[in-house]
Structures are given as structure tokens and as C-alpha cells.
């Protein structure tokens, strides 16, 4: 098939398209939905008894702020990466920076390892983060991500950051070892699975032909 | 790409997004020329592949272009990604072939080889997964292009392109005794 024949075939296949909204608008729409879902989920799971008290602790608020920054920056970075040529390194850098700052803040509270299973927190993370993660992946696949693996990884990270925020509001165990092993490690595993799984999956297709 | 051409292509893209076929044809023609210039120094023996894969990728990403932004970054991001992808595929294929070379069959004619099912199967194994699947569905399962498009999630144009490239490569493989 020559270029001209291909152009002819593609022109014949042309249908009016519904233009995709900007990355920030799409990220904001996702964030609004996801935040509502996580807030509702947190209420359903039952907030920790001392939530009113910890919400006045500056360190707790700083960690929560870092998680919100991770979620917002990772979501913007993921939606930007889903559009060819639209990515700005700033959002990705902010997401990484905020994540490192949050993990660092948690690690500073480290006071030794006390092995105690925290499978309930893993289940909470899945319950709170699953739906927002699926929603972000669906929204990203409606665009045209070139590097699908890392774009999906950032989307999962955004959803996971919100889920960790919700889990922190439900789980009263603030010890660094518990948070790092039972809140962070599952997220790292989820992102790793998403990145490797997506890089091997079939390419996504645009679905917004109108 | 200079500013004037960029603005021109952005306007044409906006019209193409509304369904204007003439504008779309002009955009794709210009993209083919620009991508050819981009690919020629880097992958001189795969320029056609890069151009055609880019055109198909642009077709699928049409709705993601925002006409208020410059056209060049959007188009070149897609083209560079396809170029890198094709270069990687070729490197992988060359590495695989270097590790497990398929011996040529010295005492047979091409016609003999072509009549041997195993020989054709070996040639098929050298195609990309997409090309192999498309050819198997077209020729072995006798499915229509529309059916294959529905099953694979590719557009009908992409199915035709994959089949065409697959046939071309098969021809080369069969003529050379598969050790391409």
C-alpha cells in the first residue's frame, strides 16, 4: 500500500470527532469524582475514633497535604501524558517530589518493626482506590497515550494516593512500619503490576468518534 | 516546521475534526512529507513503515489535537514515538534472529519451499504478532477485514496495512529462504 492509498483509506474512514477537553479539566473532573467516592467510602468504612484530634496535629495534616499533592500532580501528569506532545515535566516532578516527601515524613517517625498483619488496610486500599483507578484508566484510554505503561502507572498512583489518604482517616495505626508495609507496599505493587501489565497489553483505541 | 505552516495545519486539523475530508487529506499529505524527512536520516530502510504507522496513529489520535495549540509538537510526538517503536522492533527482531538463525534450505527451489507447510509456518513466525494474526485470520480463517477489525480493535485501514506489510515480508522471506 502506498502513502497515497493509505491517505485515501484514512480520509474515507474520517468521521467528525468530539474533541477531547484539556488535561487539567479532565484531571479536575476525575479528582472531583474520585474525592467524592473516597470521602463516601471513608464514611462507610467508619472513620477512626480519634480523627477529630489528629486533624489538629500539624504532622498529620502535612502528611495528608503531601498525599493530596501526590494525587493532584500524578493525575495532571497522567492526563497530560495521554495527549501526544502535551506533557509538561513539572507535574510529574511534583508528583515524585511530593511522594518522596510523604514517604520521608512517614519514615522519620520510624521506631522499629513490630510485625502485625494489616490485611484489613490492604482491603481498604483496594475498596477506596479500585474504582477511582479504573475510572482514570478508562478516561486515559479515551485519549491517545503514547507511553501507556507510565501513563497508567501515574493514574494508578493518583488513585492510590487518594486511597491512602482515606485509609489514613480510617486506620488508627499511625506507626511508620505499619504505614510503610501495609499502606505503601501494596501501592508500589499495584503500580508495578499496572506498568508491566499495560506495557504488554494491546494498544488502546480512541472511542470518542462522534 | 515554520509558524505559517504550523498555523495552516492547525486550521486544517480543526476542519478535519469537524469531518472535512479535503482538509484531512491535505493534513495527512503534509504529515507524510514531514515524517518522511524526519525518518530518512534515522531509519532509511524503514521510512515507509514510519510514515504509514504515523498516519494511522494520527488517525486514531485525531480527537486529542487542540487547534488552539501548535500542531508540530502534537504531530512530532506521535511520529517520534512511532519511529522509536519501529527502531526497537527491528533491533529486537535482529537480536532474536542472530540468536536463533533459521537455516536456509539449500537444495529446494522457491516453489518447493512454498509448497511446504512447515516452511510457510516458519516464515509466518518471522512476522510481527499483528501481521501474523491478521494474515492467519484473513487466509486461514477466511474472515473479512471488518470482522478482523472488530476482533482486534484495529481500524479496517490498519488491518489492510498490516496484511499488506505481512505479505511483503512473507514474499521476501520465502524468496530468501526465511533466513532474512
B117-125 contact pairs (CB < 8 A, 24+) = B119/B174, B119/B178, B120/B170, B120/B174, B122/B178, B123/B170, B123/B173, B123/B174, B123/B178, B124/B170
What percentage of chain A has pLDDT greater than the value 90?
A: 64
Average model confidence (pLDDT) across chain A: 89
Say if A25 is an interface residue toward chain B (CB within 8 Å).
no
Cα distance from N-terminal residue to C-terminal residue, chain B: 37
Instruction: Tell me the chain B residues in contact with residue A24 when contact means C-beta distances shorter than 8 Å.
Output: none
Distance from CA of B78 to the nearest CA of A (A): 6
Q: What percent of chain A has pLDDT over 70?
A: 94
Question: What's the pLDDT score for residue A205?
Answer: 46
- Helices B21-39/B3-17 angle, 10° precision: 140
Beta bridge partners of B149: none
Residues of B in contact with A9 (CB under 8 A): 156-157, 160
Neighbours of A2 (CB within 10 A): 10
Q: What is the pLDDT of residues B12-61, one digit of tens each?
A: 999 999 999 999 999 999 999 999 999 999 888 889 989 999 999 999 99
Better-predicted residue by pLDDT, B83 or B160: B83
pLDDT for A47 equals 93
Do B77 and A146 lie within an 8 Å CB cutoff?
A: yes
The CA distances from residue A69 to A100, A101, A169, A196, in Å, are 11, 10, 17, 25
Condensed to tens digits (0 to 9), the pLDDT of residues A95-132 reads 999 999 999 999 988 887 777 788 999 999 999 999 99
Cα(A76)–Cα(A24) distance, integer angstroms: 6
Give dist(CA B167, CA B160) in Å, integer.
11
Secondary structure (3-state) at A17:
strand
- CA of B138 to nearest chain A CA: how many angstroms apart? 17
Nearest CB neighbour to A13, from listed B69, B74, B155:
B155
pLDDT band, residue B100 (cuts 50/70/90): low
Q: Give the pLDDT mean for B130-136.
A: 86
User: A177: which residues sit within 8 A by CB, 6+ positions away?
Assistant: A110, A111, A112, A113, A114
Task: Give the pLDDT of residue A61.
Answer: 94
Of B17, B56, B73, the CB nearest to A16: B17
**Listed range (A60-64, A113-117, B86-90) with the worst mean pLDDT:** A113-117
**Pairwise CA distance, residues B123 & B113, whole Å:** 10
Measure in Å the smallest separation between the Cα of A61 and chain B Cα atoms: 38
Q: Which of A12, A21, A84 to mutate to test the interface with B (most CBs of B within 10 A)?
A: A84
Is B81 within 8 Å of A84 (Cβ atoms)? yes
Mean pLDDT, residues A57-80 taken together? 94
- The total of other beta-carbon atoms located within 10 Å of residue A33's CB is 15
Whole-model pTM above 0.80?
A: no
| Contact at CB, A143 and B156, closer than 8 angstroms | no
Please give the backbone phi and psi of residue B116, each rounded to the nearest 5 degrees, phi first: -90, 115
pLDDT of A158-210, one tens digit each?
999 999 999 999 999 888 899 999 999 999 999 899 888 876 654 544 434 43
- Which pLDDT score, from 0 to 100, does residue A204 have? 46
Give all strands (DSSP E) within B55-107, no chain letters: none
* Exposure b/e, A192-209, CB count within 10 A at least 16 = b: eebbeebeeeeebebeee
Q: Decide if A116 contacts A54 (C-beta within 8 A).
A: no
Amino acid at each position: 500500500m502506498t502513502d497515497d492509498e493509505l491517505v485515501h483509506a484514512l480520509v474515507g474512514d474520517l468521521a467528525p470527532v468530539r474533541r477531547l477537553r484539556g488535561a487539567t479539566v479532565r484531571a479536575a473532573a476525575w479528582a472531583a469524582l474520585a474525592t467524592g467516592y473516597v470521602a463516601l467510602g471513608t464514611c462507610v468504612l467508619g472513620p477512626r475514633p480519634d480523627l477529630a484530634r489528629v486533624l489538629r496535629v500539624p504532622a498529620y495534616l502535612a502528611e495528608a497535604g503531601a498525599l493530596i499533592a501526590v494525587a493532584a500532580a500524578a493525575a495532571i501528569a497522567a492526563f497530560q501524558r495521554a495527549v501526544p506532545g502535551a506533557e509538561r515535566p513539572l507535574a510529574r516532578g511534583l508528583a515524585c517530589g511530593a511522594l518522596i516527601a510523604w514517604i520521608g515524613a512517614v519514615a522519620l517517625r520510624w521506631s522499629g518493626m513490630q510485625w502485625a498483619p494489616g490485611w484489613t488496610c490492604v482491603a481498604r486500599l483496594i475498596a477506596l482506590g479500585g474504582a477511582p483507578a479504573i475510572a482514570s484508566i478508562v478516561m486515559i484510554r479515551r485519549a491517545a497515550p503514547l507511553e501507556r505503561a507510565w501513563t497508567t502507572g501515574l493514574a494508578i498512583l493518583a488513585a492510590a494516593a487518594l486511597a491512602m489518604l482515606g485509609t489514613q482517616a480510617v486506620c488508627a495505626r499511625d506507626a511508620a512500619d505499619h504505614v510503610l508495609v501495609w499502606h505503601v507496599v501494596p501501592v508500589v505493587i499495584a503500580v508495578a503490576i499496572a506498568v508491566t501489565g499495560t506495557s504488554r497489553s494491546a494498544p488502546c483505541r480512541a472511542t470518542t468518534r462522534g | 516546521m515554520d509558524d505559517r505552516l504550523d498555523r495552516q495545519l492547525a486550521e486544517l486539523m480543526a476542519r478535519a475534526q469537524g469531518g472535512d475530508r479535503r482538509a484531512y487529506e491535505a493534513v495527512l499529505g503534509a504529515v507524510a512529507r514531514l515524517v518522511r524527512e524526519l525518518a530518512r536520516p534515522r531509519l532509511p530502510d524503514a521510512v515507509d513503515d514510519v510514515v504509514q504507522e504515523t498516519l494511522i496513529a494520527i488517525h486514531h489520535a485525531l480527537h486529542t489535537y487542540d487547534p488552539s495549540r501548535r500542531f508540530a509538537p502534537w504531530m512530532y510526538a506521535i511520529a517520534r514515538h512511532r519511529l522509536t517503536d519501529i527502531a526497537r522492533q527491528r533491533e529486537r527482531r535482529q537480536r532474536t534472529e542472530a540468536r536463533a538463525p533459521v537455516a536456509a534450505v539449500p537444495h529446494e527451489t522457491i516453489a518447493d519451499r512454498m509448497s511446504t507447510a512447515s516452511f510457510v509456518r516458519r516464515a509466518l513466525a518471522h512476522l510481527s504478532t499483528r501481521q501474523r494474526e491478521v494474515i492467519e485470520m484473513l487466509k486461514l480463517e477466511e474472515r473479512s477485514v471488518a470482522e478482523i477489525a472488530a476482533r482486534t480493535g484495529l481500524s479496517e485501514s490498519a488491518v489492510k496495512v498490516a496484511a499488506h506489510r505481512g505479505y511483503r515480508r512473507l514474499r521476501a522471506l520465502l524468496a530468501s529462504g526465511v533466513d532474512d
